A and B are shown apart, each in its own frame.
Chain A
Amino acid sequence: MRILVVEDDKDVASFVVKGLREAGHVVEQTPNGRDGLFMAASESFDAIVLDRMLPGGVDGLRLLETLRAQDNHTPVLFLSAMAQVDDRVRGLKAGGDDYMTKPFAFAELLARVEALTRRGKTDTPTTRLVTADLEMDLLSRTVKRAGQKIDLQPREFRLLEFLMRHAGQVVTRTMLLEGVWDYHFDPQTNVIDVHVSRLRQKVDKPFPIALIHTVRNAGYMLRVEEA
């Protein structure tokens, strides 16, 4: 995937670029808002990682607003040190698809960027999600594994749905909290882990192969273990 990183801090930029390239993405990078706008408008990217405070007269918000005004809907993830709730709201209102505050864990950034690109692709509403022998019917709200029906609580269903929509991607605890519960805070207790482990009891335990994996220092991933 082609990703544009607009970030003026050299260390952060090179760290992000290196990490994204290692994850197999093609990355363009500029430290300057004006150039960033030019590149974003003239080339095609799958996602943009955008700092808010940028040199060159065009800051992140202006860049994004201009881009959206040109009917460019490339997914944008804000990466900013401005951490207040209002800043976040402003960023999302301007057309941002996600908002991360610095300092950040790269795993989280990668997970979110990949989630954004995925979101961009699945525009057509799906009614069925399938990963290996796990099937989810979104209309009848039923889940089957190896043809066997699995009973899930509504919240467990949504948790599994989120994991399945991001199958093959790392999903962090924060993403789960935001995506499944719509909470924007960081609980001190391991509430997410408990819910995931409950889900595992139902989805993985009775079957020989586990689908929900823990990714150390990052979160979870639903994927088929390569043999």
Chain B
Amino acid sequence: MPDAAGGETAADAAAGDAVADAAGGGAAGKPAGIDRPGRLARWRRWNRAAPSPVAEEEVPAPNFLRSAAVRFGVIYAALFGISAIALAAFLWWSTAGLLERQTDAAILTDSLGLTERFAEGGPKALVETINDRVLGNVDDDALYLLVDSASQRVAGNLESWPLRMAMDEDWDELRIERAGVASLARIHYFELPGGFRLLIGRDVELRSQLRVMMADAMFWAAVIALILGTIGAWAVRGLFRSTIADVSATAMAVSAGDFTRRVRIAGHEDEFDLLAETINDMLDRISSLMDGVRQVSNAIAHDLRTPITRARTRLEDAAIHATTEAELRAAVDRAMLDLDGVVSVFQALLRIAEIEAGARRSAFAPFDLAPLLTDLAELYDAAAEERGVRFQTSIPATLPSFGDRDMVQQAVANLLDNALKFSPADTTVQLTASLTPGGIAIVVADQGPGIPPEDRNRAAERFFRGESARSTPGSGLGLALVQAVAHLHGGSLNLDDGAPGLHAVLTLAGRIKPEAPRSITIASK
């Protein structure tokens, strides 16, 4: 099939660009390496019936056969026609063929009988028998002719011996005339001793009428097959097109920026519905990801704008109002601290993005989690003691694990940071690790204020900060990173109520293969 893009016009390409720009507000731009205008135009041409968001422009006339739907239709018609012909051929064989075989059998039986009569009683007996049979032929279809060596008629009900009959061919068709009406006969002839020749036949006019009838029937069947096949082809094409058109219209609307559009599900629970569901699931996933991105961008805008604004205000204030160098330096120092905060938010965000992209899987290696946790516990033990917080650990002697050591270290450190940050004096923070059937569970439990149930689901979102956390320093990215690390390791982060306090459970799959391809399954309902 030739590529339709070859027939692209300049108007086409321009219109395609306009769509892309209008869709993405110019920001999204065109995906590199994809002939987007050409594809759009092709869809539109193909899909003329569907309301197009773009004004129709000049496109080359649609090539009928370029449509896959038409091809399907023609194939359908061809199959229909072939099966009709096969049916007719079978009917012909089983009716006309049967009649023909019966006629031949009857003639053969007749000729055997007559040959016997001739052998028993000679020409005289044969003539008698023939006359008898002509007289008693109730079916009115028997033909006999006995001639002598001079081709003179001796007996029978045919006027004369057919001219062209050579003796090398003993079966034939013969035109006869019955009471002025033309008819057709099936005949068998052979020689008898004494130069006699005998012809036995049956009037098969009925059969030839049947033949004409069948031929007519087949012709009309063919015509009807052609008509029905064409109609069927159009129906198939329409069905095909309406389904595909909906998918393509949805895809076009989505690519034009309307993420609320979904493919219509006809409710037949067929393959098309399955396809539609899969596409809709994909669109749901994309739009939830887009929402996430949008939300994160908003959060970034807000969370970074605040410290930047603060730094700027300080600097401006100092520039205008500072009277001593010490004041100026103090303002600059504080502004630098604010900017350091901005940088650390950036670094955390990039780190999370890096983890979520799965790029770190290449750094996966086996390692023992137990000493890692013991070291962390040692690092944080002093900090806990300083705050008057009791720090308890329960770590097995060895915890063989597989993953990115540094990432797990940072995730657990984040959990411990959190726990210590929210723990009032004279409470306990517990770090527990254990082997579970699914892998390894690391639990960090504190007795602080915890997270209210309504916030728990969102606590691991980027920049989410609960009411109680607003007053404490932090970027709101700690748990998001922990969750990203958990997902990278095929595990999860669960935040439970420690009654009181927070009970954070970080699970890691014991052993996941690096670069494990995500299996794509289509759930059939």
**CB < 8 Å A-B pair total:** 63
Beyond A105-B340, A183-B413, A186-B344, whether A85 also contacts B354 by CB under 8 A is: yes
Does any Cβ of A come within 8 Å of B9's Cβ?
Answer: no
Q: Is the CB of B410 within 8 A of A83?
A: no
Q: Is the CB of A155 within 8 A of B378?
A: yes
Docked complex Cα distance between A185 and B416 (Å): 13
Does any Cβ of B come within 8 Å of A123's Cβ?
Answer: no
Of A188, A191, A195, A198, the contact of B478 (CB 8 Å cutoff): A188
Q: Is the CB of A198 within 8 A of B354?
A: no
Docked complex Cα distance between A187 and B418 (Å): 10
Chain A, range 45-86, C-beta contacts under 8 Å to B? 83-86
Query: How many whole Å from B426's CB to the nearest CB in chain A?
Result: 18
Q: Residue on B with the closest CB to A156? A: B382
Beyond A183-B409, A188-B473, whether A84 also contacts B417 by CB under 8 A is: no
Does any Cβ of B come within 8 Å of A146's Cβ?
Answer: no
What's the tally of chain A residues with a CB closer than 8 Å to chain B?
24
Q: Is the CB of A217 within 8 A of B333?
A: yes
Does any Cβ of B come within 8 Å of A190's Cβ?
Answer: yes
Query: How many whole Å from A186's CB to the nearest CB in chain B?
Result: 6
Of B339, B383, B410, B421, the contact of A185 (CB 8 Å cutoff): B410
Does any Cβ of B come within 8 Å of A194's Cβ?
Answer: yes
Does any Cβ of A come within 8 Å of B139's Cβ?
Answer: no
Q: Is the CB of A189 within 8 A of B340?
A: no
Q: Is the CB of A189 within 8 A of B354?
A: no
Q: Is the CB of A194 within 8 A of B354?
A: no
Beyond A85-B363, A188-B478, whether A181 also contacts B379 by CB under 8 A is: yes
Q: Is the CB of A103 within 8 A of B343?
A: yes
Docked complex Cα distance between A217 and B363 (Å): 34
Does any Cβ of A come within 8 Å of B454's Cβ?
Answer: no
Does any Cβ of B come within 8 Å of A128's Cβ?
Answer: no
Chain A, range 149-207, C-beta contacts under 8 Å to B? 155, 181, 183-191, 194-195, 197-198
Q: Residue on A with the closest CB to B344? A: A186
Q: Mark B415-426, 1 if CB is under 8 A from A, else 0.
A: 011101100000
Does any Cβ of A come within 8 Å of B3's Cβ?
Answer: no
Q: Mark B314-343, 1 if CB is under 8 A from A, else 0.
A: 000000000000000000010010011001
Q: Which residues of B contact A155 (CB under 8 A)?
A: 378
Q: Is the CB of B406 within 8 A of A194?
A: no
Docked complex Cα distance between A105 and B413 (Å): 24
Q: Is the CB of B378 within 8 A of A185?
A: no
Q: Which residues of B contact A103 (CB under 8 A)?
A: 339, 343
Q: Is the CB of B380 within 8 A of A191?
A: yes
Q: Mark B111-141, 1 if CB is under 8 A from A, else 0.
A: 0000000000000000000000000000000
Q: Is the CB of A189 within 8 A of B421?
A: yes
Q: Residue on A with the closest CB to B414? A: A188
Does any Cβ of A come within 8 Å of B386's Cβ?
Answer: yes
Q: Residue on A with the closest CB to B333? A: A217
Query: How many whole Å from A82's CB to the nearest CB in chain B?
Result: 10
Does any Cβ of A come within 8 Å of B360's Cβ?
Answer: yes
Of B339, B406, B409, B416, the contact of A85 (CB 8 Å cutoff): B406
Q: Among the interface residues A85, A101, A198, which one has the most CB atoms of the partner chain B within 10 A?
A: A85
Q: Mark B383-427, 1 if CB is under 8 A from A, else 0.
A: 101100000000000000000001001100110111011000000
Of A85, A86, A189, A195, the contact of B417 (CB 8 Å cutoff): A189
Q: Is the CB of A86 within 8 A of B359?
A: yes
Q: Is the CB of A185 within 8 A of B413?
A: yes
Docked complex Cα distance between A217 and B337 (Å): 9
Q: Which residues of A contact B380 (CB under 8 A)?
A: 189, 191
Offer 10 A-B interface pairs, CB within 8 angstroms, sorted by A.
A84-B359, A85-B351, A86-B359, A89-B363, A185-B409, A187-B417, A188-B414, A188-B473, A197-B386, A217-B333
| New A-B pairs, 17, CB < 8 Å, besides A86-B359, A194-B383, A195-B379 | A83-B350, A85-B351, A101-B347, A105-B340, A181-B375, A183-B379, A185-B406, A186-B347, A187-B379, A188-B414, A188-B417, A188-B473, A189-B380, A189-B416, A191-B382, A191-B383, A198-B382
10 tightest Cβ-Cβ pairs between the two chains A and B: A188-B417, A185-B410, A194-B382, A191-B383, A194-B383, A194-B386, A189-B417, A189-B383, A195-B382, A191-B379
